């Protein structure tokens, strides 16, 4: 006898997955010898069902524990920290059988961590560090994977998500971080890897409403709602909403505000055809955006300012991101072995910021003599500002064909993609109306805004010192890239144990950049086109049903001027030009070799992985002396390392995720001879993180997390970290270890109370530094948060 749970529910339920008593079935429930027991039970209640008679006619009791359904369709059943499959249609094998390092953070792990911004989540991932904005590249979420820039290698459901924006997690089902060059999937860029956010989608399988209300220190307030409703057997709607507001811990008056809405509508036209329409909107604003501290002293004794300076952001400062995205998904099954997926997306992203930096300087009082006797040390304020408007369109078609050729199983994926990304950027006209309060030179006018008075005390009215007047200037850069892509992938099972994956992708692009000098009115237009070819090959061998070993090689390529937020700032990915026009630079190329092993253990509830890798990036566009050296591809660097990971259920009560990356980087070639042999900028040799959760009783759990990152040396991407002539790191970011705690108690079937303490020991730490040391991103101080989860 089959469970009658409504047509759609029966279709999608996995046999080993019990049904939550907190979700309402859309049909009658039948109990039988071979079925699970389904009833509106209280949470964690137990029930007994009749068992088949034994040989002597006795009845055996069967105990079934109710368990909440995980809305994430890619999670391993019964192990919510472990993802079984990728949310990307193009990955045809389970993650445990994929010949590549792909680290996944599920929505359950994100919820338990208490972290909300994507930048905070990824900062805790081994092998990933953060970069800063400046006047050459925009402020916003900037990620560096295995030492390589990845700020433009962020994807949502397999489509590139351009723009330097603030990214939130309220609508994310799971995060997938692919390590190593990945242009076969991602297209241009992805020298170190790519980040793919899988979003929450409407489902016909069950109805639910989850709401969370959180309060905490620093005026923390956060409300989220996740609601799914099937209005018929063919139409469902899912809505996720967010309201969040908080002060930055220990950094008053800095504040963060987040408001978001994600809608997903599913229409199953028939058993073969379905259409999903999505909208995603986010309004993120940081008031008094805090750039943390700054470095003082001379290397090797160069350290963050101590004590930490108060927030020197000005009252008029801001950092805002507005995002609106519309996506249509069409799935059509020609047959059980031939399936088509089409994704179409149009989006707009707007990022604007005026932020204040500071650096240690020798200054003089506003009045009186200026000499050694009157000189003192103070932070002096500077301004960074810019705006960027992104418009993007993309259409991707994937055709999957499962077939048998020559007695071997093949899983083909054919891909066609077109994208049109445009970025218009400029800056603000800023007038500082406040009176200057110090002199920055022994001669000349008094032009400085100083954070301290003689003796070291902070000035009064620090946040209103500059009294800025801000107006948006017209555009100065108009960047556009159109790309036509085609590729084919195939996974071949030669035997039950031996498989191979191969793929090749072609990207034909047309590049345009218009620049305008606002002072002279002179405009220049640059354009060119080229074709990129990249591939990936992997071979896997199953040692036994639990474990396999693999070897893989993959490539990536990026183009001259590929970063949308930099114009002609070549050292940060902008277009390389000379007086005669844009230089015909060759694409940057990256090649990765990887040997690894993956093991599905503990009844497939725990995945353990290890990988040894080497990535070499050649023809690097360093942004140094192109006219004199005669080459725009003067750099080469290499990263070698090993990564370990274990994710899932360690025991029936203990689950978690632990990862570690141990790496070395080296500049092999450079237009600047002194850079050769140095490590890459913003690169941490070692990083380890973990999160564990223990279910002490059916109602109570507790756990914690930690993040360790070794020291980094700031500098310009690809050209090597900044060092003094004596060989000391000139802008050092100190190592850090941060610990978090969390716990939860289920009051009844509808209510659960969660608590989290972030940065338990109130560690003072920094996550990134600007290459001059004039600002250091400060990690959040200790914060306590309590959240009530409500299920209807």
Cα distance from N-terminal residue to C-terminal residue, the chain: 30
3-state secondary structure of 39: coil
8 A C-beta contact, residue 623 and residue 570: yes
Cα 489 to Cα 411: distance, rounded to the nearest angstrom: 8
At residue 629, the pLDDT reads: 61
At residue 28, the pLDDT reads: 33
At residue 604, the pLDDT reads: 96
- Which residues touch 494 (CB under 8 Å, ≥6 apart)? 408, 500
User: Could you write out the three-class secondary structure of 607-657?
Assistant: EEEEEEEEEEEEEECCCCCHHHHCCCCCEEEEEEEEEEEEEEECCCCEEEE
3-state secondary structure of 118: helix
Angle at CA of residue 88, ends 419 and 176, nearest 5°: 100
3-state secondary structure of 474: strand
3-state secondary structure of 462: helix
3-state secondary structure of 760: coil
Cα 414 to Cα 419: distance, rounded to the nearest angstrom: 17
- Other beta carbons within 10 angstroms of residue 60's beta carbon come to 9
Beta bridge partners of residue 492, listed in sequence order:
410, 500
CATH 3.40.50.740 fits 208-791, yes or no: no
DSSP class of residue 782 equals -
Check whether the bond before 307 is cis (ω within 30° of 0). Answer: yes
At residue 141, the pLDDT reads: 86
Angle at CA of residue 484, ends 482 and 488, nearest 5°: 150
Sign of CA dihedral 452, 359, 777, 244: positive
Which token pair is 360? 């240690």
pLDDT average per 10 residues of sequence, the chain (792 residues)? 34 34 34 31 35 49 58 92 96 96 96 93 94 80 92 94 90 96 93 96 96 98 98 97 97 97 98 98 97 93 93 97 97 98 97 94 91 93 95 98 96 98 96 93 86 93 96 96 98 97 97 95 94 97 97 96 88 83 89 98 97 97 68 90 98 97 96 90 96 98 98 86 88 96 97 98 95 91 98 92
Q: What string of DSSP letters covers 400-460?
A: EEEEEETTEEEEEEEEEEEEEEEEEEEEEEEEE-SPP-BBSSSSS---B-BSB-TTSPBPT
8 A C-beta contact, residue 266 and residue 203: yes
Cα 111 to Cα 104: distance, rounded to the nearest angstrom: 14
Cα 582 to Cα 580: distance, rounded to the nearest angstrom: 7
Cα 182 to Cα 188: distance, rounded to the nearest angstrom: 9
Q: What is the dihedral of CA 225, 226, 230, 234, to 10 degrees?
A: 130
Which token pair is 732? 């050092």
- Residue indicated by tokens 């030492």: 147
Check whether the bond before 253 is cis (ω within 30° of 0). Answer: yes
Instruction: Write the Ramachandran bin of 577: left for phi over 0, alpha for psi from -120 to 50, otherwise beta.
Output: beta
271 vs 25, 27, 233, 236, 281, CA distance in Å? 21, 19, 11, 15, 31
Is 223 exposed, middle or buried (CB count within 10 Å of its CB: 0-12, 13-18, 19+)?
A: middle
Q: What is the largest CA-CA distance in the chain?
A: 107
Q: What string of DSSP letters covers 224-279?
A: EEEEEEESSSSEEEEEEEEEEEEEPTT-TT-EEEEEEEEEEEEEE-SSSEEEEEEE
For residue 359, which of 774, 770, 772 has the smallest C-alpha distance? 774
8 A C-beta contact, residue 355 and residue 317: yes
- Residue indicated by tokens 């997690």: 169
3-state secondary structure of 583: coil
> Which pTM does this prediction carry?
0.89
- Other beta carbons within 10 angstroms of residue 125's beta carbon come to 21
8 A C-beta contact, residue 414 and residue 89: no
Q: Tell me the residue ranges of DSSP E strands in 495-546.
A: 498-516, 523-542
Beta bridge partners of residue 477, listed in sequence order:
425, 515
At residue 35, the pLDDT reads: 32
Q: Domain extents for the chain?
A: 1-69, 208-791
8 A C-beta contact, residue 318 and residue 137: no
Q: What string of DSSP letters covers 666-681?
A: EEEE-SSGGGTTPPPT
8 A C-beta contact, residue 380 and residue 356: no
Which token pair is 146? 């295995």
Q: Tell me the residue ranges of DSSP E strands in 62-199.
A: 62-65, 75-76, 79-83, 102-106, 128-130, 143-145, 148-149, 154-156, 159-160, 172-179, 193-199
């Amino acid at each position: 006898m089959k469970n009658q749970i409504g047509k759609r529910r029966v279709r999608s339920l996995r046999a080993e997955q019990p049904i939550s008593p907190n979700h309402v079935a859309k049909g009658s429930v039948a109990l039988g010898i071979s079925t699970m027991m389904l009833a509106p039970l209280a949470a964690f209640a137990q029930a007994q069902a009749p068992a088949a008679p034994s040989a002597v006619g006795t009845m055996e009791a069967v105990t079934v524990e109710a368990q909440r359904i995980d809305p994430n369709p890619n999670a391993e059943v019964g192990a919510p920290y472990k993802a079984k499959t990728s949310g990307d249609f193009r990955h045809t094998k389970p993650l445990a059988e994929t010949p590549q390092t792909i680290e996944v953070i599920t929505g359950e792990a994100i919820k338990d961590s208490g972290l909300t911004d994507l930048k905070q989540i990824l900062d805790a991932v081994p092998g990933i560090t953060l970069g800063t904005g400046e006047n050459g590249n925009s402020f916003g979420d900037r990620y560096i994977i295995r030492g390589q820039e990845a700020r433009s290698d962020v994807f949502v459901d397999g489509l590139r998500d351009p723009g330097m924006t603030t990214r939130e997690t309220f609508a994310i089902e799971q995060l997938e971080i692919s390590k190593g060059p990945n242009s076969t999937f991602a297209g241009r860029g992805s020298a170190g890897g790519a980040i793919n956010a899988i979003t929450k989608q409407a489902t016909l399988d069950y109805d639910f409403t989850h709401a969370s209300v959180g309060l905490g220190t620093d005026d923390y307030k956060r409300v989220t709602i996740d609601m799914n409703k099937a209005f018929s057997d063919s139409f469902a709607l899912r809505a996720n909403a967010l309201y969040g507001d908080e002060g930055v811990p220990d950094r008053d008056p800095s504040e963060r505000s987040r408001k978001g809405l994600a809608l997903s509508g599913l229409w199953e036209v028939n058993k073969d055809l379905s259409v999903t329409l999505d909208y995603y909107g986010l309004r993120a604003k940081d008031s008094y955006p805090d750039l943390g501290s700054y470095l003082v002293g001379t290397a090797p004794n160069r350290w963050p300012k101590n004590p930490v300076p108060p927030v020197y952001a000005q009252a008029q400062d801001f950092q805002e991101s507005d995002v609106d995205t519309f996506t249509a998904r069409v799935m059509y099954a020609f047959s059980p072995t031939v399936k088509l997926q089409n994704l179409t997306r149009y989006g707009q992203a707007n990022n604007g910021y005026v932020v204040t930096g500071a650096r240690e300087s020798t200054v003089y009082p506003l009045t009186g003599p200026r000499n050694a006797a009157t000189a003192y040390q103070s932070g002096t304020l500077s301004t960074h500002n810019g705006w960027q408007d992104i418009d993007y369109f993309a259409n991707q078609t994937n055709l999957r064909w499962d077939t048998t050729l020559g007695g071997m199983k093949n899983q083909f994926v054919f891909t066609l993609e077109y994208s049109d990304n445009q970025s218009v950027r400029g800056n603000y006209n800023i007038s500082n109306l406040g009176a200057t309060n110090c002199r920055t030179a022994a001669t000349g006018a008094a032009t400085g805004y100083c954070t301290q008075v003689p003796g070291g005390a902070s000035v009064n009215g620090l946040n209103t010192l500059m009294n800025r007047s801000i107006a948006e200037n017209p555009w100065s850069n108009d960047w556009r890239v159109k790309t036509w892509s085609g590729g084919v992938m195939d996974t071949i099972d030669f035997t039950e144990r031996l498989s191979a994956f191969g793929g090749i992708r072609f990207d034909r692009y047309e590049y345009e950049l218009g620049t305008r000098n606002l002072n002279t009115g002179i405009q220049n237009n640059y354009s060119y086109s080229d074709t990129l070819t990249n591939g990936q090959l992997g071979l896997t061998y199953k040692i036994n049903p639990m474990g396999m070993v693999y070897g893989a090689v993959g490539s990536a390529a990026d183009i001259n001027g590929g970063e949308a937020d930099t114009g002609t700032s070549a050292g940060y990915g902008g277009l390389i030009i000379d007086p005669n026009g844009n230089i015909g630079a060759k694409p940057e190329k990256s090649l990765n070799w990887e040997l690894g092993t993956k093991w599905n253990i503990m009844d497939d509830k725990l995945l353990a992985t290890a990988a040894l890798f080497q990535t070499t990036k050649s023809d690097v566009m360093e942004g140094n002396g192109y006219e004199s050296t005669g080459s725009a591809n003067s750099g080469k660097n290499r990263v070698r390392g090993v990564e370990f990971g274990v994710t899932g259920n360690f025991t029936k009560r203990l689950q978690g995720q632990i990862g570690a990356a141990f790496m070395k980087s080296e500049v092999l070639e450079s237009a600047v001879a002194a850079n050769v042999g140095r490590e890459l900028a913003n690169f941490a040799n070692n990083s380890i993180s973990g999160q564990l959760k223990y279910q002490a009783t059916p109602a109570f759990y507790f756990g914690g997390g930690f993040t360790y990152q070794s020291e980094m040396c700031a500098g310009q991407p690809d050209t090597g970290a900044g060092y003094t002539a004596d060989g000391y790191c000139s802008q050092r970011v100190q190592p850090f270890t941060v610990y978090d705690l969390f716990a939860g108690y289920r009051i009844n079937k509808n209510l659960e109370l969660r608590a989290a303490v972030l940065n338990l020991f109130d560690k003072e730490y920094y996550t990134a530094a600007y290459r001059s040391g004039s600002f250091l991103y400060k990690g959040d101080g200790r914060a306590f948060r309590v959240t009530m989860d409500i299920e209807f």
